[in-house]
Amino acid sequence: MVTVRVPAKVNVQLGVGGVRPDGYHDLANVFFAVALGDEVTATPGDGVTLTCTGPDADAVPLDDTNLAARAARLLAAHHGLPAPGVHLHIAKAIPVAGGMAGGSADGAAALLACDALWGLDTPLDTLLELAAELGSDVPFALLGGVALGRGRGEILEALPVSGTFHWVFAVADGGLSTPAVFRECDRLREESGTGATIEDVPTPDADPELLAALADGDPVALAAALSNDLQAAAVSLRPSLADTLHAGTEAGALAALVSGSGPTCAFLAKDADAAAHIAAALRASDTCRTAHATHGPVPGAQVVSAPRP
C-alpha cells in the first residue's frame, strides 16, 4: 500500500493571453501550493478501480474520466504493462471543480503512487511529461512550492520564495467548469472590443513586483500584486462571488481574489491568527459553504508513511 499526499494550488498571478488555434490560452501562471490537500492511496487490485471519501465525494466521478484513473492507465501504457492492477482511494479535501486543481492533484498523486506500488522508478522528468499529457495543471502538483507556468501552464520554472504565507479559502456551493470560464473570458474580451485571439492579446509576463514579494516573503507586497485575468469571467458566471470577496476583505484580508477559474475565493492574511479570524467570519457569513485557513508554500506530491486517520 502506498499513500501520496498532494497539495491544492492557488494562482497568485493568472495572466491569460489570447486563445490559440488549438483552443488553449498562453499563460503567465504563478502557481502557489497550499497545505490544503488530498491523499491518494494505491493498493494492489484487479484493473483500475476508484473510491473517494470526503465532504464533496459525491461530486467526484469514479469512472475512467477521473484523472487519477487516467494517470494509472497512462503510466502503465508508458511502461508497456499489459494489465495494470490498482485500487486508488482518494481522501478528498480539495474543493471539487473549485479552481484549486483538485482533479489535477489526484492525477499527479496517482502517477506517484502507482509508480511506487508497481516499483517502476520512473524519472521525475518523465513523470512531468506524463503529467502534462493529463492536463495543464498536473505537472505543478508534482513540483509544488511556487512556480511560473508558461505555455498552457505546463512549462514550469521553480521560483524563489521566503517564509510562509497565510491563506483562507472560501468554498462555494457547486463548481465552475474551467473551459466555460475561459470561454467567458474570451466573450468578455470580444464584447469589450479588445478581441480574444493571440493577435489581439499580448502574451502575458510574470509581474516583477509579484516575484519580488514572493522572494522577500512580504505578504503586504504580495497582496498588492495578486492578479487573476479569469476573475471577471468567474464573477460574470457566478455574480454572488463578489459578495464572498467583499466579506473576506471586510474581515481583514490583505487581499481577495478568485482562485484560478473559481468559484473558490482566496484571501491572503497577514498571519495565522488573522487567517483563523477571516475563516471564522466567512463561515458565519452566508456568502460561502465553508472556509478553511491554511498556509503555503508546501512541497508537491510525496509518498507519506501512513494515511491521515
Binding site for ligand C5P (CB under 6 A): 23-25, 27, 135-137, 152-153, 178-179, 182
Output the furthest CA–CA distance in the chain (Å, rounded): 57
List, in order, residues 6 or more apart from 147 with CB less than 8 Å away: 30, 31, 140, 156, 157, 158, 159
CB of 217 to ligand C5P, least distance (A): 28
- The DSSP output letter for 57 is G
One of 26, 106, 137, 229 is an active-site residue; which one?
137
Do the Cβ atoms of 189 and 195 come closer than 8 Å? yes
Going along 54-164, which residue ranges are E strands? 86-91, 146-150, 155-158
Nearest residue (CB) to ligand C5P, 23 versus 174: 23
Instruction: State the Cα–Cα distance between residues 4 and 38, nearest whole angstrom.
Output: 8
Residue 187 near residue 232 (C-beta atoms within 8 A): no
Least distance (Å) between residue 136 CB and ligand C5P: 3
Handedness of CA 17, 19, 21, 26 (dihedral sign): positive
Nearer to ligand C5P, 154 or 248 (CB): 154
Strands 146-150 and 25-43: antiparallel
Residue 147 grid cell: 512556480
Residue among 41 and 136 whose Cβ is closer to ligand C5P? 136
Instruction: Report the first-to-last Cα separation within the chain, whole angstroms.
Output: 15
Does 9 participate in catalysis according to the annotation?
A: yes
Cα gap 204→17, rounded to integer Å: 6
Determine contact, residues 166/274, Cβ cutoff 8 Å.
yes
Nearest distance from residue 175's CB to ligand C5P, in Å? 13
Least separation, in Å, of the C-beta of 130 and ligand C5P? 14
Cβ distance to ligand C5P smaller for residue 55 or 179: 179
Distance CA 170, CA 76 (A): 37
Cell numbers given for 210: 509579484
270 noted as active-site residue? no
Catalytic residues: 9, 137
